[in-house]
A and B are shown apart, each in its own frame.
Chain A
Amino acid sequence: MPTILVLATTADGAVDDISLQALTFGRRLATGGPVHALVVAGEPGAEGTPAEATAAGFGAYGAAQVHLARHPAFETFAPDAVAAVLADLAGRVAADAVVGPGTEAGNTVLARAAARDGQPFAANCIAATLGSPAQVTRQRWGGTLQEEAALHGDRAYVSVAPHAVAAEALDGSSAAVDAFTPDIADADLVVRVVDRVAAAASGISLAEAKVVVSGGRGVGSTDGFKPIEELASLLGAAVGCSRAVTISGWRSHVDQVGQTGTKIAPNLYIAAGISGATQHMAGAKGAKKILAINKDAEAPIMSAADYAVIGDLHQIVPAISAEIRRARGA
């Protein structure tokens, strides 16, 4: 039975759901074999660093052994240092596969660890089976295309595409936590976060917004976004846009929803004048409900939307704002 090592990441000291998904994925890959998890942490009590209990929390998702690597260097993100510990641990536990979350941080650490280990790495997998070679199914083009590939190596490095599996706790499962202090070479600390600058207060973050109102090519101009901004402000929503809009220079890329922009997961996504090109929908897949406003009743977005209003967004969006005001005034 294979041995699996999972890179478990934390955010502000708390368990990251995406890591639980990776752990669930890894556990299934182990098919009953031992599952290890690596958690990196700064000095106990340091701001934003996970506590031992947090690390132990991964046990509930099937990690039999949690390795808690404590080092002051881990108080900020140092991807080479994490990768060094990960690759070293993979060797120590003789892992057949190293699994991690398919986030920017997860992918960069896994890539670095695989490179150190001289192994291939498959990013953003949605399925895998071990063997010689290992088989993976991974996402391309933001998930609009899937690749089935063989991974020829001594150890399979895979990252798990977000939401490819749901995190699933295992009844009565708990983990032993092995805290240790790794040796970290100076060379592995060249790349590390040395500062954090606050973002200019720019309203609601697109990635975290509960409601997003977006405009596409159909909006037509920078000024055309005013009614969309108005509706967003009424709903406490973030404003988004499609790539056509950013390329035209109507809005900053910060607002772009899509494969190469922000991936959003709101409760409601209102897409106005957006046809629903693959590049855009790759970023909007996380939305729970989609309302499309489009003059074309058969635009591609209609097969992804829950609700639709057919017609000119320049008339419809202000009418919705007016109706909300009326409803609230009553």
Chain B
Amino acid sequence: MASFPTRAKVVVIGAGIVGNSVAYHLANLGWRDILLIDKGPLPNPGGSTGHASNFIYLVDHNKEMTQLTVESARQYQDWGVYTTCGGIEVARTETRMNELRRRMDSAKNWAIDDARLVTPAEIKELVPFIDESILVGGFYTPGVGVVDSLRFGTLCREKAEAMGALTVFANTEVTGLGVENERIRTVETSRGTVEADCVVIACGVWAPKIAEMAGSHIPLTPTVHQMADYGPVPLFEQSTKAIEYPIVRDMDVLMYERQDGVGLEVGSYAHRSILHDPEDIPSNEAAALSPTEFPFTQEDFDPQLEDALELMPSILGDERVGQKYAINGLIALTPDGMPLLGETPEVKGLWSAAAVWVKEGPAVGKCVAEWMVYGEPSIDVAQSDISRFHAHQKTRQHTKRRAFEAFPKTYGIVHPAEQYLSDRPLRRSPMYEWQAAHEAEFFEVAGWERPQWYRSNAPLVEKYGVETRPNEWDARWWSPIINAEHLAMREAAGIFDLSAFAIFDIVGPGALERAQRVALRQMDVPVGKVVYTPVLSEVGGFKSDLTIMRLGERVFRVVTGGAHGMSDLKWFRDHLADDASLVDQTTAFTTIGVWGPRARDIVQSITRADMSHEGFPFGTCRTVEIGSQLVLASRISYVGDLGWELYVPMEQGLRLWEELWAAGEPHGLTACGIGVYGTTGRLEKGYRAYGMELDGDYTIVEAGMVPARIKAQDYVGREAVLRQIAEPPAALLCTLTVDDHTSPSSGEKRYPLGRQPIVLADGTPLTDAKGRRSYATSAGASPSTGSYILFAYLPPDQAVEGNQLFVEYFGERYPVTVRVVGARPLFDPENLRVRGITEAVVA
């Protein structure tokens, strides 16, 4: 055996599906001196890959996950380790059947076009050993397959070794990580210490332990997934390959059954959440099976057996078929269910590629490698970016509590607006008690409790005659009060708690240059200007959209959404130089928004500052006195109305809120929730949102956000922008409205919640020149116009105002009309309201 190296360009820790794939893709992209180590033996070092069930279901509601899965399937297929067998998600109940219809919406969105709904009789034909009499139907994806993930890993190593790029050491345990100046320097192992420019932690359930060695955090929790193998199955003894029958996911009971040779493998997510700590995992030597195959706890599995028996009585009811092998396999769960990818925010050069399933492994390997080599992955993995976490989300306890709550939802029906209920409340704004007293319905973002609406505003529903939603799904996590609050704001004024904003200052002699480098728009503006700007990646995809205030010659304040704030913070930090520094002010300031035609009257009544249109123009900010406080006021609006964002120290927020509330009472001020701020207010004003319309897949040209002048100064993505402008757009972001909400089958009024396919009358999906499908990126009411808005990117030939199209929702089509192509708002198209002119609109 070669001697252990003392230097490597990159050390990849963990030789499971992820580590092998990262190592291969780094080699394939030209890196050399790659060292792959694992504390276990090869080819199965004992991590979660070794006991994975290895099947690949292609369709997920989440775009990023589907893209990762489809790319992974492609890689497995290219290397001949993918056996296509098909897969059926079966429904025992009408509720689940509805979910499967929603799955069809997602299949259409992400172009998994062989997916189809099947009847019980068709299921029986595909899976002869099933009792179809207990089924309502199924969702069949013929392209579903089973992979040999260990073989794939071996091929990764062999290919990278053949390129002369990779050295592999098994049975090599990491004992420490050396960090200097917040940068990774060394990996200490049982074979010696190796210096490295970069380190990738790809060791799954052990990742938190390794990350802690560098003072970094990879928040995941090892969680038990029970699996048992039953056999020999007489029917399978004639099979010529390891799997001939489609894999069945018995969604209602949270289980799956698949053929594996002469056995039937039964897996369950129905048992209680059984969480562990990475420190609980035994060594390879001390483990009875593999370290991640814990002793089976039969009593947890027994209740599930009855469900499995009910579905597959001809196999599992056969007395000759026995339980041959059963384990409590460990998998990794995260606080929000998404993987943990990218450079850790704490330590430069220390990368995470963890909490990844076999179905995403190869694509994650590719993306992380591209990210390391080029600075940007080819699939937008923003939702998996490890830098997304706020401090509390990095803790063991929070991770466990969220994983405990999420585990039973693995096969669950999860509403797009579904809230986590565990580990709350965690971050409380200074107005929390006031809001609770006013019956706020709290939603959580980034740990903050934010009013989504106030139940105390219920009388406004009648006042404005707001319609309710008859369908329970459409009305879940929603209230007509949102629309009523919206109308009250448009009529008089609304007050909003925006404490969840992430706020950070760029300070120093190079502050302008640094701000310039990240922002698309011109930052060389006078002190006191507020600039709303997209933030792009080098290849011209959206990284964020946010506002930057120039507070001084050398001070810029960045304000961005709480959910995405920490990723933005890392992005800015990564683009700093020694001439500027970043100061995180997120918890120093609270932000209170006051908007509506009466907003100026309200604020002016408690300040001696000139708040007039001329005295305090739109797009500017300055410090004003309100009562005994100095308040940073910024005249911008995400709801498209007259008013200010008001910044004060967190501990003074309640005082300001109460003074505004008192001053607002005679003017009809209404406390409004984020339902107005995030959806109704923004949609009818045509405002785009990062993570909805804006992601790595679309350009500023397609989003209709090209600034009037492309600034001369260099910035990240500038070359890409120039290219994008030069070529015709493949799609254009449009505002559509629903013409008729009536369900063709039930006659009930339905309200699509977003992420539904936009199709032709015959159901044909729209595909643009880049192969992307048209789907509703956002959806919600426009109470001011009485319409229901969908945003969608449409191919140019369909992006024609007045064009009639359809939105498909739970498999049914509803007519929609293209109302606006581009950024013009549906409501107040001249944007008079932010200037305080309401009459034109009202008339």
Interface residues of A (CB under 8 A from B): 295-300
Name 13 interchain pairs, CB-CB below 8 A, sorted by A: A295-B43, A296-B41, A296-B42, A296-B170, A297-B1, A297-B41, A297-B170, A297-B171, A298-B41, A298-B170, A298-B171, A299-B41, A300-B285
Task: Mark interface residues in B134-171 (1 if CB within 8 Å of A CB, else 0).
Answer: 00000000000000000000000000000000000011
Tell me how many residue pairs across A and B have CB atoms closer than 8 Å: 13
A300 neighbours in B (Cβ, 8 Å): 285
Contacting A at CB under 8 A, from B781-835, are none
Please report whether the interface of chain B is mostly helix, strand, loop or mixed according to DSSP. Answer: loop
B43 neighbours in A (Cβ, 8 Å): 295
A296 neighbours in B (Cβ, 8 Å): 41-42, 170
Top 10 A-B pairs ranked by shortest CB distance?
A: A296-B41, A298-B171, A298-B41, A299-B41, A298-B170, A300-B285, A296-B42, A297-B1, A297-B170, A297-B171
The distance in angstroms between the C-alpha atoms of A280 and B214, with both chains bound, is: 41
CB closest chain-A residue, reference B44: A296
A297 neighbours in B (Cβ, 8 Å): 1, 41, 170-171
Give the shortest distance, in Å, between A224 (CB) and chain B (any CB). Answer: 14
Give the shortest distance, in Å, between A305 (CB) and chain B (any CB). Answer: 15
Give the shortest distance, in Å, between A239 (CB) and chain B (any CB). Answer: 24
The distance in angstroms between the C-alpha atoms of A300 and B42, with both chains bound, is: 14
The distance in angstroms between the C-alpha atoms of A300 and B285, with both chains bound, is: 8
Most buried by B among A295, A296, A297, A299: A296
CB closest chain-A residue, reference B171: A298
Give the shortest distance, in Å, between B63 (CB) and chain A (any CB). Answer: 41
Give the shortest distance, in Å, between A315 (CB) and chain B (any CB). Answer: 15
Give the shortest distance, in Å, between B208 (CB) and chain A (any CB). Answer: 25
B170 neighbours in A (Cβ, 8 Å): 296-298
Give the shortest distance, in Å, between A294 (CB) and chain B (any CB). Answer: 9
A295 neighbours in B (Cβ, 8 Å): 43
B1 neighbours in A (Cβ, 8 Å): 297
CB closest chain-A residue, reference B232: A249
CB closest chain-B residue, reference A299: B41
Extra A-B contacts (10), CB below 8 Å, given A296-B170, A297-B41, A298-B41 = A295-B43, A296-B41, A296-B42, A297-B1, A297-B170, A297-B171, A298-B170, A298-B171, A299-B41, A300-B285
B42 neighbours in A (Cβ, 8 Å): 296
Give the shortest distance, in Å, between B4 (CB) and chain A (any CB). Answer: 14
The distance in angstroms between the C-alpha atoms of A299 and B42, with both chains bound, is: 10
Contacting A at CB under 8 A, from B424-455, are none
Give the shortest distance, in Å, between B734 (CB) and chain A (any CB). Answer: 58
Task: Mark interface residues in B21-42 (1 if CB within 8 Å of A CB, else 0).
Answer: 0000000000000000000011
The distance in angstroms between the C-alpha atoms of A298 and B40, with both chains bound, is: 9
Q: How many residues of B contact A (CB 8 A)?
A: 7
Give the shortest distance, in Å, between A278 (CB) and chain B (any CB). Answer: 10
B171 neighbours in A (Cβ, 8 Å): 297-298
The distance in angstroms between the C-alpha atoms of A138 and B786, with both chains bound, is: 87
The distance in angstroms between the C-alpha atoms of A299 and B43, with both chains bound, is: 12
The distance in angstroms between the C-alpha atoms of A299 and B170, with both chains bound, is: 11
The distance in angstroms between the C-alpha atoms of A295 and B170, with both chains bound, is: 12
The distance in angstroms between the C-alpha atoms of A295 and B45, with both chains bound, is: 12
Give the shortest distance, in Å, between A254 (CB) and chain B (any CB). Answer: 22
The distance in angstroms between the C-alpha atoms of A299 and B41, with both chains bound, is: 8
Task: Mark interface residues in B252-287 (1 if CB within 8 Å of A CB, else 0).
Answer: 000000000000000000000000000000000100
The distance in angstroms between the C-alpha atoms of A300 and B43, with both chains bound, is: 16
The distance in angstroms between the C-alpha atoms of A297 and B168, with both chains bound, is: 13
The distance in angstroms between the C-alpha atoms of A241 and B285, with both chains bound, is: 21
Give the shortest distance, in Å, between A247 (CB) and chain B (any CB). Answer: 9
CB closest chain-A residue, reference B42: A296
Give the shortest distance, in Å, between A221 (CB) and chain B (any CB). Answer: 10
Give the shortest distance, in Å, between A112 (CB) and chain B (any CB). Answer: 35
Give the shortest distance, in Å, between B543 (CB) and chain A (any CB). Answer: 45
Give the shortest distance, in Å, between A23 (CB) and chain B (any CB). Answer: 39
Give the shortest distance, in Å, between A243 (CB) and chain B (any CB). Answer: 13
Contacting A at CB under 8 A, from B443-486, are none
Most buried by B among A297, A298, A299, A300: A298
The distance in angstroms between the C-alpha atoms of A299 and B46, with both chains bound, is: 13
Give the shortest distance, in Å, between A138 (CB) and chain B (any CB). Answer: 24
Give the shortest distance, in Å, between A122 (CB) and chain B (any CB). Answer: 28
The distance in angstroms between the C-alpha atoms of A283 and B170, with both chains bound, is: 29
Most buried by A among B1, B41, B42, B171: B41
The distance in angstroms between the C-alpha atoms of A297 and B1, with both chains bound, is: 10
Give the shortest distance, in Å, between A258 (CB) and chain B (any CB). Answer: 15
The distance in angstroms between the C-alpha atoms of A296 and B42, with both chains bound, is: 7
Give the shortest distance, in Å, between A205 (CB) and chain B (any CB). Answer: 31
The distance in angstroms between the C-alpha atoms of A298 and B285, with both chains bound, is: 11
CB closest chain-B residue, reference A275: B41
The distance in angstroms between the C-alpha atoms of A298 and B284, with both chains bound, is: 11
CB closest chain-A residue, reference B45: A296
Give the shortest distance, in Å, between B39 (CB) and chain A (any CB). Answer: 10
The distance in angstroms between the C-alpha atoms of A282 and B619, with both chains bound, is: 81
CB closest chain-B residue, reference A277: B288
B41 neighbours in A (Cβ, 8 Å): 296-299
Task: Mark interface residues in B284-313 (1 if CB within 8 Å of A CB, else 0).
Answer: 010000000000000000000000000000
Give the shortest distance, in Å, between A276 (CB) and chain B (any CB). Answer: 11
The distance in angstroms between the C-alpha atoms of A296 and B170, with both chains bound, is: 9
A299 neighbours in B (Cβ, 8 Å): 41
The distance in angstroms between the C-alpha atoms of A4 and B43, with both chains bound, is: 56
The distance in angstroms between the C-alpha atoms of A297 and B171, with both chains bound, is: 9
The distance in angstroms between the C-alpha atoms of A296 and B284, with both chains bound, is: 13
Give the shortest distance, in Å, between B11 (CB) and chain A (any CB). Answer: 19
CB closest chain-A residue, reference B41: A296
Give the shortest distance, in Å, between B51 (CB) and chain A (any CB). Answer: 15
The distance in angstroms between the C-alpha atoms of A298 and B42, with both chains bound, is: 9
Contacting A at CB under 8 A, from B163-194, are 170-171
The distance in angstroms between the C-alpha atoms of A298 and B170, with both chains bound, is: 9
The distance in angstroms between the C-alpha atoms of A259 and B42, with both chains bound, is: 27
CB closest chain-B residue, reference A247: B324
A298 neighbours in B (Cβ, 8 Å): 41, 170-171
CB closest chain-B residue, reference A298: B171
CB closest chain-B residue, reference A296: B41
CB closest chain-A residue, reference B43: A295
CB closest chain-B residue, reference A310: B1
The distance in angstroms between the C-alpha atoms of A298 and B43, with both chains bound, is: 12
Give the shortest distance, in Å, between B406 (CB) and chain A (any CB). Answer: 35
Give the shortest distance, in Å, between B558 (CB) and chain A (any CB). Answer: 51
Give the shortest distance, in Å, between B241 (CB) and chain A (any CB). Answer: 15
B285 neighbours in A (Cβ, 8 Å): 300
Give the shortest distance, in Å, between B119 (CB) and chain A (any CB). Answer: 39
The distance in angstroms between the C-alpha atoms of A277 and B677, with both chains bound, is: 63
The distance in angstroms between the C-alpha atoms of A296 and B43, with both chains bound, is: 8
The distance in angstroms between the C-alpha atoms of A296 and B40, with both chains bound, is: 10
The distance in angstroms between the C-alpha atoms of A271 and B171, with both chains bound, is: 21
Give the shortest distance, in Å, between A123 (CB) and chain B (any CB). Answer: 26
Give the shortest distance, in Å, between B231 (CB) and chain A (any CB). Answer: 11
The distance in angstroms between the C-alpha atoms of A154 and B552, with both chains bound, is: 96
The distance in angstroms between the C-alpha atoms of A300 and B283, with both chains bound, is: 13
The distance in angstroms between the C-alpha atoms of A298 and B173, with both chains bound, is: 13
The distance in angstroms between the C-alpha atoms of A300 and B41, with both chains bound, is: 11
Give the shortest distance, in Å, between B404 (CB) and chain A (any CB). Answer: 35
The distance in angstroms between the C-alpha atoms of A297 and B285, with both chains bound, is: 14
Give the shortest distance, in Å, between A172 (CB) and chain B (any CB). Answer: 50
CB closest chain-B residue, reference A294: B41
CB closest chain-A residue, reference B285: A300
The distance in angstroms between the C-alpha atoms of A191 and B171, with both chains bound, is: 54
Give the shortest distance, in Å, between B42 (CB) and chain A (any CB). Answer: 7
Give the shortest distance, in Å, between B102 (CB) and chain A (any CB). Answer: 43
Give the shortest distance, in Å, between B562 (CB) and chain A (any CB). Answer: 48
Give the shortest distance, in Å, between B288 (CB) and chain A (any CB). Answer: 9
The distance in angstroms between the C-alpha atoms of A299 and B285, with both chains bound, is: 9
Give the shortest distance, in Å, between B683 (CB) and chain A (any CB). Answer: 59
CB closest chain-A residue, reference B172: A298
